[in-house]
Every structure is written in C-alpha cells, then in structure tokens.
Amino acid sequence: TRHEQAAAHMADAYARVTGQPGVCMGTVGPGAVDLVPGVYTAWADSIPMIVLTAQNQTWKSYPERGSMQSLEQIDLFAAITKWQARVTHWQRIPELVQRAFRIALSGRPRPVHLDLHVDVLVATGDESSLTHCPLPPERYRPVRPPVADPELIEQAAQMLVEAERPLIHPGGGVLRSGAWEEVRELAEYLSAPVTTSTGACGVLPEDHPLCLIAGGYGALGAQAMADVVLLVGGRLGDTDFWGQPPFWGEPDQQKLIQIDIEPENIALNRPVDLALVGDAKATLRLLIEAIKRRTPPVPERPEMAEYRSVQEGWLAQFEAQADTDQKPIHPLRLVRDVRAFFPRDAITIVDGGNSTVWSHYLNRIYGPRTFLWASDSGHLGTGLPYAIGAKLAAPDRPVYAICGDGAFGLNMQELETAARLGLSFVIVIVNDRQWGMIKAKQMSAYDARYIGVDFEDVRYDQVAKAMGCWGERVEDPAEITPALERAVSSGKPAVLDVIVDPWVHLTPPDLENLDAVWMEGCDLPW
C-alpha cells in the first residue's frame, strides 16, 4: 500500500467479506502510528484482525533509551486491541501467533497486536528446538462456538411463541457469527418483522417481505409496537436510540431477550428480561428447534401489512426526489442509478458524511457481508481501501463504493495500489466540494455562517488517470449509467467524479434525528 492506514482498512474489509481475520503490518514508530486509524475502525465494529508491528532491537527497547523511531507500541495499541504481546525471542513466534488468532476470534472478535523486535525477526535457530510448533486450528483454539444455557433457550422459545407482536433485531454479531440463515428461518417461521442495526444491513435482504429498513419509519413503528424483542448480536447503541422510548416500547411493557457472545454487552443500554450468553448462530439454531416443538409456522401477522405500508410511503418520497433530471445532479438520482446498475450480489461500500446518509435511502442491500461501512466509528477515508480489500477477498464479485469527495481525499493515493494490483471496481464520488455535514451544522448553529468547509474544484477523474486508473467526470444525470458501463468495461479501478447539487446535498432528510443523537445530553447555547 501507499499508507499504513489504508493497509489496516484493507485487512478490515477482507475480514468483513470473508469472516476470517485480516492481517496488516507496519514498521516501527511512524508506521505503527499510521496503522492506528484503521485498527480503531475495526475495533469499533468488532472485526478480527492481526496487527503486526516491527520494533527496535530488544536491547534498546522497553524501556527505550532514545533510539530513533522508538515508541512504546504496546501502549499505543492498548486502547484499540483486545490483547497485545511483545515477541522477544524467535522460538515464541508460533506460540504467540497462534495465541493472537485464538484471542482475536474468541468471544467478541476484535483486533490483537504483536510487536516484533527486529533482532527477533532476523534471528536464526534450529526449528527442532521449538516448544510450540505450528498447529491446525482445532489444536490450539475452540472451533465449536459456545451455546447459551439450554434452559434459558427454552424460556426464550416460550416467550416468543406467546408473543403477539414479536420482533427480531440483529446487530453486527449476526454477521460475525454467520447467523443470517438462522435469522431468516426464525423470522419466517414466526412471521416476525426484522429490523437491523445500521451496521447489520443485509442480514435479511432489504426487499424481503419481513425486512424493515434500519432507521426507516416502518422499522421505528414496529420497534415501538413489539411486545417481545429478540436482540441478537447487538447493543442498542445511540443509532438504535439506546433501545428507549419513543423509538422502542417502555421496558415494563416490552420484553427484551438478548443473545450475545459477550457478557458485558448484556443489558448494556436497556434492562433485559432474558439473557442468553452464547454464539448467535449456535444459540439461534437451538432456539428455532425449541420453537418448532411448541408451535406450527405462524401465518402473517396483521400488523406487518401496516409496517410495510409505512415503509413504502417513506421510501416513495425518496424515489420521487430521485426522479429528476436537474443539474447539478440530485444525490438521490445518483444513488438510485448506481444501485440499479449493479447486480444484487455486488459488494457495496459507503464512505462519507452526508453521502452516507443519502445512500441509505435508496442503496438497497440484498445479502450478508455485502455492505461495508465503518458504522460504529464513522471513520472517513475507508471507501477506496475497503474496495481494494473487498475485491481481493472476493475477486469474482462486483465491488463499488459511494464516497464523499472529502472522505475520498483521505486515501486517494491508494488508486496507484489498486492499479498496480490489477483490480477492477468502481468508486463513485459524490462531489459537492465541501465538508457538507460540518457546514450544515455550522450554518444551523451560527445563523448561516460557516468557515473552513469549502473545497476548490478538484478533478478526481484526472487524478485517477494519472495513477493508471479509469477516470471520468459526470455532470449530466443522463450520463450516470453510460459512465458506469464505461467504467466497468475499462477493467481498471475506476473513478466517476459526479458533480451533485451542493445545497441539496447539504441537508439529507431526517438529518435532525442524527443531530439529536450526536448532541444528546448537551446544554446547547442555540
């Protein structure tokens, strides 16, 4: 790569697509520091990653004595990895690498860190002296996931069978566990609506009759009306409004069953009525069997038609806004045409502030592990490196990313990396020449005044060409689809620099809901 941050983002994307740990590495000091943003993004979304850093020689490290590029790298990564270790002898490399994989994949998956001294890396020795030899996975880590208490699973089954308006709310843990088929089977058997956290889109196809799109009015209504909620692999964080009314039912009237592999996540933001600590996939499988012993398949529930009607009305307003030939291009016209161009199984990436919000309305997600977004960190600059990592993980799948121009600028040097690797994907830049989300906040808080948020006109298409990629600027909405066709036909990493209406793009619908989340608890002076 051209930058260590991008390397970590690529490893993150690889893990999201494959379900296997990604691996990234950086050199001592500045290289290790540059890994931090990408490692933090994986940490926030519970992505397994092995982070390797080089370190100065053991004799002049820990404590360091003023050598060049010296840094206490264990301390550096302590806040964003679940385990760290210094490798001080070559004989311990197999042992500590295996331990790193075990810890990264056990319980709640997250990054781990190994700090390798340079004298260890260049050391030689007799492999027969190893006390810990490399082993297959089943010999050094659990390969059968833990299951919740069977008695509690039976209780959960009874609660769901007796519920009049059950609802299933998967979080990112369902994707990590690979439990999407179980979620679908359970939902269809109970005819229960499925809402997801913003990071779990695609667990159920968003056009499935039981799926209610995250954050949409249909989903919010169903969440408020449910009498029993099954929360799987999620924490009900701020973008889930903490699981609190009016977006959810009152805790004394709405029962909550929570399945999570991490005990610390139980009742984190809302009291539970039943806690099932275990792997989502394994626990759901037993829960489904327990429910099938108690009841035949449940016919469609009458409230589902109402939820769908509300959702369809909510989506219709965005479709209507997208149906325009205005110039500069309306952001919803761009999102609609891009999603319509790519097949259902394409891997879709979003990266940006307002561009991510606009994308959510019409960029439908149809499958698990096909939607990549730094949902818990909101980290900008992931789009291009995520596209590289995703394409390396799934070379036969179409990959596209919708990126804000500000976000794209953070890692656009990786276009050369993508061209050098011979990859093919499409980056769609939503170019409004501003930090739109920040500008909107400044204008709302300070009587329409703003500062430091506007860009000059950057020809991102020409930057792409200079780095060996396909590049094209799009200013006419009628050219969106033809430009996509040319980009894909090029067989190269492609950048479409799309000029959108900056004033429309400034304020996505429902932005006030996000603003309320971000500023919650603040005594605002305006």
**What was the pLDDT predicted at 525?**
67
C-alpha closest to that of 202 among 172, 232, 229: 172
Domain span at residue 430 reads 323-518
Residue 526: inside a domain, yes or no?
A: no
**What was the pLDDT predicted at 63?**
81
The DSSP string of 99-165 is HHHHHHHSSS--EEEEEEEHHHHT----GGG-SS----HHHHS--S-----HHHHHHHHHHHHH-SS
Only one residue has tokens 């977004």, namely: 373
CA distance 254 to 247: 12
Residue 318: inside a domain, yes or no?
A: no
9: DSSP letter: H
Residue 525: inside a domain, yes or no?
A: no
**What was the pLDDT predicted at 127?**
84
In order along its 526 residues, the chain shows pLDDT tens digits of 999 999 999 999 999 999 999 999 999 999 999 999 999 999 999 999 999 999 999 888 878 778 888 889 999 999 999 999 999 999 999 999 999 999 999 999 999 999 999 999 999 988 888 888 888 888 888 888 999 999 999 999 999 999 999 999 999 999 999 999 999 999 999 999 999 999 999 999 999 999 999 999 999 999 999 999 999 999 999 889 999 999 999 999 999 999 999 999 999 999 999 999 999 999 999 999 999 999 999 999 999 999 999 999 999 999 999 999 999 999 999 999 999 999 999 999 999 999 999 999 999 999 999 999 999 999 999 999 999 999 999 999 999 999 999 999 999 999 999 999 999 999 999 999 999 989 988 998 888 999 999 999 999 999 999 999 999 999 999 999 999 999 999 999 999 999 999 999 999 987 777 777 767 777 776 6
Residue 377 and residue 275 share a domain: no
Residue 494 and residue 347 share a domain: yes
**What was the pLDDT predicted at 511?**
74
Residue 227: inside a domain, yes or no?
A: yes
**What was the pLDDT predicted at 135?**
86
Residue 407 and residue 485 share a domain: yes
| Residue 26, strand partner residues | 53
| Residue type (1 letter), 194 | V
Residue 94: inside a domain, yes or no?
A: yes
CATH number at residue 20: 3.40.50.970
Residue 446 and residue 389 share a domain: yes
Residue 159 and residue 136 share a domain: no
Residues across the chain: 526
Residue 194 and residue 118 share a domain: no
C-alpha closest to that of 425 among 379, 492, 363: 492
Residue 297 and residue 328 share a domain: no
C-alpha closest to that of 54 among 66, 78, 37, 70: 70
Q: Which residues, 6+ apart, have CB-to-CB distance to 158 below 8 Å?
A: 294
Residue 383: inside a domain, yes or no?
A: yes
Residue 246: inside a domain, yes or no?
A: yes
Residue 164 and residue 74 share a domain: no
Residue 44 and residue 111 share a domain: yes
**What was the pLDDT predicted at 180?**
98
Residue 495 and residue 348 share a domain: yes
Residue 162 and residue 121 share a domain: no
Q: Count of CB atoms within 10 A of residue 2's CB? A: 16
End-of-domain residue from the set 272, 307, 342: 307
End-of-domain residue from the set 307, 341, 374: 307
CATH number at residue 203: 3.40.50.1220
Q: Are 370 and 347 in contact (CB under 8 A)?
A: yes
CA distance 168 to 192: 7
End-of-domain residue from the set 105, 122, 140: 140
Residue 54 and residue 106 share a domain: yes
Q: Are 460 and 471 in contact (CB under 8 A)?
A: yes
Pair type for strands 111-117 and 347-351: unpaired
Number of domains comprising the chain: 3
Q: Are 383 and 350 in contact (CB under 8 A)?
A: yes
Q: What is the pTM of this model?
A: 0.95
Q: Which residues, 6+ apart, have CB-to-CB distance to 219 below 8 Å?
A: 193, 195, 212, 213, 307, 311
Residue 445: inside a domain, yes or no?
A: yes
